[in-house]
Amino acid sequence: MSKEQQRQLDAISRQGRLDTAGDVQSVRAAFNNVMAQVPVAPDVQQTPVKIGGVDGIEVTIQGNASENVILYFHGGVYVIGSAATSVPLVSDLVRRSGVRAITVEYRLGPEHPYPAAIDDAHAAYGGLLAQGIAPGQIALAGDSAGGGLAVATLLALREAGTPLPSCAFLMSPYADLTLSGETLAEKEELDPVLTPAGLRARVPDYVGRADASDPRISPIFGDLTGLPPLLVQVGSHEILLSDALRLAGRSALCDVPVTLEVTPGVPHVFQGFAGLLDEAGAALDRASDFLKTHLAH
């Protein structure tokens, strides 16, 4: 990444930064407006689906057929975002990996606090199994809150005795809603996307009356033993860096096969800038290799 690329990316990120501490409906509308401007290639097919009783969008590339599937969870601090807003990034991952994806329209807070999101994620995974898709043909993936939700879903599946998917790919996972990570302060000036105040404002919307340290809300506090292989990607210029570092460390302590990739100088969910940033495309290429390897097994 050149200095010019870094300056350009930082400017774009700061210009598009949302005040997530604002009114929920206004923040949602602003985020949807920003994401609606992100182009999607004409060969990307988007099909509304209902899986396990949960709405979603199946994302495929025209002419590409695969039995393997990525079950994807979008970001948005559990309060904003949608399946539709994730399509640009999901389609890029689908193109590189050669599989199809279903991005899940899980319920959001504050209207639907914990455990609504994890219940929907669990139901969607069960819906895939009910269709006759083998666990080894499924990978979980998500960005930000969706990355944390993917791990929380793995814990819920394990507790329920449900066969686990092949692997999980996590981009900048939001995995500690107690907000105890040291990089919330250390990286605040560098992060062009998120702010500690914005995160603090939205935590009660999702946590509700639950305990934010519950592992199914903040997976870094859980026993991750028995989870499938994880790939964690994060940028060094984001306040959630410590979430990714601690999640990977916790995984290693629990004997979970985990790969941690920290890309220097890039912001939160930098993979969404694959058209601008070489490092973003390279990260998605590595993620696709990871997914293909484990789905093949």
Distance CA 225, CA 250 (A): 9
The neighbouring-strand residues paired with 258 are 230
Phi-psi region of 41 (alpha: psi -120 to 50; beta: other; left: phi over 0): beta
Query: What is the DSSP-derived secondary structure letter of residue 254?
Result: T
Annotate 43-91 with DSSP letters as a single string: TEEEEEEEETTEEEEEEEETT---S-EEEEE--STTTS--TGGGHHHHH
Taking Cα atoms as reference points, which of 136, 236, 135, 237 lies closest to residue 189? 237
Distance CA 266, CA 273 (A): 10
By annotation, the residues acting in catalysis are: 144, 238
Chain position carrying tokens 């309060």: 79
Distance CA 40, CA 36 (A): 9
